[in-house]
Structure 1
């Protein structure tokens, strides 16, 4: 919806807002099924909120996205399948009304809600709320076309902060923070750092288009490289989603999410002793397929 408010100086202020709530469910049940199988239920809950402002040569875009998914399977504990909290805000102004380029500043934050585990081990968390947490703050220029759902943001001045507020994970040097200093017996002399700050170059792009009737393609890409530490080694965050509208309330989604961060090390039991050892970075890949109920207003 669009809200018009007249200020004391008789200038019009235009706000647009959009709220989305959705839930995807899937269930499999077996009774005397010859081929076998386990009963299972999966659920994904998500919400997004957009608040955008534009007046004359100025724009301000704000969004919040929340996702949480679980899977319950017969004979094992409930497991998390999705977990994300993401906030972003960008402010820009352009030199004249015909230009699609804005001088822009951008802030973003993302983390997770609950503990993450290397299943089936649920005793030792490999991630938590704000472990990690990421913020990006920078200035640059943004291309935004009024008639095309395409934005491109270029920031040669971007500060990235990584937070690891769980001291055990910080001591291990997870997610790129400085690890603890220990003596020869493994006793901690100095605790690991909880925050790491980087200074680098950020490129983001978002594109959305209806490719067929009731079928919408959305592509989001983020590339970041640190000037001071291995410049040219690029952190990648790429999401591609295809949304198919059944009716006003039922939608289907097919998507993929690819991440690569050289500072994110992985834990796995490499020698079979039951303990997780820290290994190097890897490409992270997530694929999604869901049908559910969506309410937008």
Structure 2
């Protein structure tokens, strides 16, 4: 891991005080590739190529008893297989910022405020149907804004954030999806013939309790474990019904530029409905929420500075 720490000294216009500012920054660019090709292969198979591109930017500021952490993450993956269209395998845009202040230099607890935003870059489809998108940029889009307290372990890379005051906003800016009531927004009001009397809402707001945890540790030489967990429950709508977002990743370093990783991502949100053809008529019907699971395995080139 490379870290670039810059110290800059500056004086105010009265020349009576000096301020020392410490910034820590990290930039990561990576690409994972996998390819399979067949020529006269007796067992059969389709030629295919998969690629995952990702980038992460971190900017952290610390001065005296104050800390400010910022990050931006982008991921996009595609798969091209002989005989079918290119399909998306990964799509994420995530921004986060947290500000904390502690009473003294010996305390591990910070008074903290957090903001996060996440959405996707391009349309999502229920393959092989690529005519009707089931998700788009800002459909959905999520923001969290809250205040609480955060524990930061002085030796381990462990943080736990507790926020009893968190506002969650869900954006569905595609009107067709909003009219269907996707991602928890109020659906359109229709008459007996299905004509729309009132368009569906594009925004859903919630007020609830948020708990997040981030833990990193080098478990073996050049093998690092990262665990991220987020739990959210709305006070006003089915309190105790918890939205779960849990990522577990193991990163293995081959050398400074080649790394391998294996991970899993589990989500559950009671407001996220699923579409599938349940009766074989070629049309997608909307069904209830389900546990979402994604498993990842990749080897690729990473550049950090």
Indicate the TM-score class for this superposition, using the shorter chain for normalisation: over 0.9
Post-superposition offset of 1:8: 7.2
Post-superposition offset of 1:147: 2.2
1:183 alignment counterpart: 191
- For residues 95-125 of structure 1, what are the alpha-carbon distances to aligned partners after superposition, in whole Å with 9 as ceiling and x for unaligned? 1110010000000000000000000000000
Post-superposition offset of 1:11: 2.0
Instruction: Evaluate the alpha carbon distance shift between residue 208 and residue 7 of structure 1 in structure 2; reply closer, same or farther with a 3 A threshold.
Output: farther
- For residues 40-68 of structure 1, what are the alpha-carbon distances to aligned partners after superposition, in whole Å with 9 as ceiling and x for unaligned? 00000000000000111000000000000
1:235 alignment counterpart: 243
Check conservation: 2:29, 2:304, Cα contact below 8 A: yes
- 1:67 aligns with one of 70, 75, 95: 75
Check conservation: 2:12, 2:18, Cα contact below 8 A: no
Post-superposition offset of 1:148: 1.6
Runs of 4+ deviating beyond 3 Å: 3-8
Check conservation: 2:210, 2:232, Cα contact below 8 A: yes
Gaps of 5+ in 2: 1-10
Aligned length: 295
Post-superposition offset of 1:6: 14
Instruction: Evaluate the alpha carbon distance shift between residue 6 and residue 136 of structure 1 in structure 2; reply closer, same or farther with a 3 A threshold.
Output: farther
Q: 3-state SS of the aligned residue for 1:114?
A: coil
- 2:180 aligns with one of 169, 172, 175: 172
The separation in 2 between residues aligned to 1:88 and 1:94, in whole angstroms, is 20
The separation in 2 between residues aligned to 1:89 and 1:130, in whole angstroms, is 19
- For residues 170-198 of structure 1, what are the alpha-carbon distances to aligned partners after superposition, in whole Å with 9 as ceiling and x for unaligned? 00000000000000000000000000000
- For residues 206-262 of structure 1, what are the alpha-carbon distances to aligned partners after superposition, in whole Å with 9 as ceiling and x for unaligned? 000000000000000000000000000000000000000000000000000000000
The separation in 2 between residues aligned to 1:26 and 1:7, in whole angstroms, is 59
Name whichever of 142-151 and 273-282 sits farther off: 142-151
Instruction: Evaluate the alpha carbon distance shift between residue 122 and residue 284 of structure 1 in structure 2; reply closer, same or farther with a 3 A threshold.
Output: same
The separation in 2 between residues aligned to 1:4 and 1:250, in whole angstroms, is 46
TM-score, L = length of structure 1: 0.97
**TM-align CA RMSD:** 1.9
The separation in 1 between residues aligned to 2:12 and 2:240, in whole angstroms, is 46
Check conservation: 1:6, 1:12, Cα contact below 8 A: no
The separation in 2 between residues aligned to 1:92 and 1:149, in whole angstroms, is 16
The separation in 2 between residues aligned to 1:26 and 1:146, in whole angstroms, is 40
The separation in 1 between residues aligned to 2:175 and 2:60, in whole angstroms, is 38
Instruction: Evaluate the alpha carbon distance shift between residue 158 and residue 151 of structure 1 in structure 2; reply closer, same or farther with a 3 A threshold.
Output: same
TM-score, L = length of structure 2: 0.95
- For residues 1-52 of structure 1, what are the alpha-carbon distances to aligned partners after superposition, in whole Å with 9 as ceiling and x for unaligned? xx99999721211000000000000000000000000000000000000000
- For residues 146-183 of structure 1, what are the alpha-carbon distances to aligned partners after superposition, in whole Å with 9 as ceiling and x for unaligned? 42210100000000000000000000000000000000
Check conservation: 1:5, 1:12, Cα contact below 8 A: no
1:245 aligns with 2:236: no
1:42 aligns with 2:50: yes
Gaps of 5+ in 1: none
Check conservation: 2:122, 2:137, Cα contact below 8 A: yes
Instruction: Evaluate the alpha carbon distance shift between residue 7 and residue 152 of structure 1 in structure 2; reply closer, same or farther with a 3 A threshold.
Output: farther
